[in-house]
Amino acid sequence: MKTEGISRRGFLRVAAAVGAAFAIEPTLNKVQAAEQLISGKHIVKNPDMQYRTLGSGPAAFEVSALGFGVMGMTYNRSQYPDKKMRQRVIAEAVDHGVTLFDTAIIYGPLNNEEFTGEALAPYKNRVNITTKFGHEVIDGKATGRQDSRPETIRRYCEGSLRRLGIDSIPMFYQHRFDPNTPIEEVAGCIGDLIKEGKVQRWGLCEVSSETIRKAHAVTPVTAIQSEYHLMHRLVEENGVLDTCRELGIGFVPYSPLNRGFLGGCINEYTVFDTSNDNRHTLPRFEPDAMRQNYRIVNVLQDFGRTRGMTSSQVALGWLLHKAPWIVPIPGTTKISHLEENLHTFAFVLADSEWSELERRVAAIPVVGDRYNAEQQKQVGH
């Protein structure tokens, strides 16, 4: 049942947000405060955090300038601490002003969403969770196929809402392009979910400029999520960043530290847990490739040494400097690394310094492909 253009779910969201608005900012107009909570424009901000806007117009989404990738808390990053410590890291991120937390159905599968929902349950009015659909999961197991048919998207949406413990998904990404489902159908389905209040915004991952344009024409896209860092700058060359700039779409770099490599904490001697880490399958993480690529880490370390920065801060600072609508989502299971990442905001460098870094890194050829052949087939459509 709908009244005055708002669904029952949407009405409940507004009602809940109004209650939160009274608690958060009693001096403001309560309806306005509720609308800001729903849109992701939080009333209370951490003065030590910087904020950025992904997307534009109705699709705009104000978030912390650094987000948090939750994947490694349970999936694909070898061993991890116990739940209590992982929840403590999440709590520290929230206390430092991080408002954007990223997960996906395929991570686990499913258990990463469950962990994210539980860890962020105490902070529902202070954070936004983004998740992703597209990879087929049957009976809790990944099949390796893509399925973005509208009926599947709806089923995955309901599952994500349940696991995350929320009434509406702040941003729902298509994780990988489905060659059997036109992107216009995907965009249309998401548009319907937005009207119903189950989804607030949407995005795409690892797609071409052409796909972005087709999708955006049906339902405005808030953000594109793709791998982007000093060792992988394809989005600068294939038109994706230019398309985002032209259409007013945000960009969210995943693996901004190249799966930990640019932080200098892994090298050719690192042993990955083959039962819970995909890096041993990636050509760029073979021992010989890492040995040669470590020269790039050395450049970042040398560059940062005279500026008081770690190599991680150099890598993140470079991305933040690229455009005000870029929001990296580094992940970690360590409070020390979280604080290190967030301290990146303390450093302000001149354009000429970042250009110098780019020249030094570009002089070193990157050894090894970022994905194996099968995974590479899933990107760039």
Share of the chain above pLDDT 90, in %: 82
Of 134, 168, 221, nearest to 40 by C-alpha is 168
Whether the pLDDT of residue 312 is over 60: the answer is yes
Note the pLDDT of residue 76: 87
Task: Give the residue, 199 or 46, on which the prediction is more confident.
Answer: 199
Name every residue whose Cβ is closer than 8 Å to that of residue 200 and which is 6 or more positions away in sequence. 38, 39, 40, 168, 169, 170, 171, 194
Q: How far apart are CA 355 and CA 227, in angstroms?
A: 21
CB 297 within 8 A of CB 311: yes
Asked whether the CA dihedral 293, 297, 303, 305 is positive or negative, the reply is negative
Note the pLDDT of residue 111: 96
Whether the pLDDT of residue 326 is over 50: the answer is yes
Whether the pLDDT of residue 82 is over 80: the answer is yes
- Please state the rounded mean pLDDT for residues 284-309: 97
Q: Over the stretch 202-248, which tens digit does the pLDDT of each residue have?
A: 999 999 999 999 999 999 999 999 999 999 999 999 999 999 999 99
- Between 13-22, 170-179, 187-196, 213-222, the lowest mean confidence (pLDDT) is in 13-22
- Please state the rounded mean pLDDT for residues 108-119: 97
Note the pLDDT of residue 38: 44
Whether the pLDDT of residue 169 is over 70: the answer is yes
Q: Which of these is catalytic: 51, 75, 107, 228?
A: 107
Note the pLDDT of residue 373: 66
- For the question of residue 173 being annotated catalytic, the response is no
Q: Over the stretch 16-70, which tens digit does the pLDDT of each residue have?
A: 444 444 444 443 343 344 444 444 444 367 888 999 999 999 999 999 999 999 9
First vs last C-alpha separation in the chain: 38
Note the pLDDT of residue 42: 46
- Please state the pTM of the whole predicted model: 0.88
Whether the pLDDT of residue 182 is over 50: the answer is yes
Name every residue whose Cβ is closer than 8 Å to that of residue 231 and which is 6 or more positions away in sequence. 258, 261, 262, 284, 293, 296, 361, 366
Whether the pLDDT of residue 158 is over 80: the answer is yes
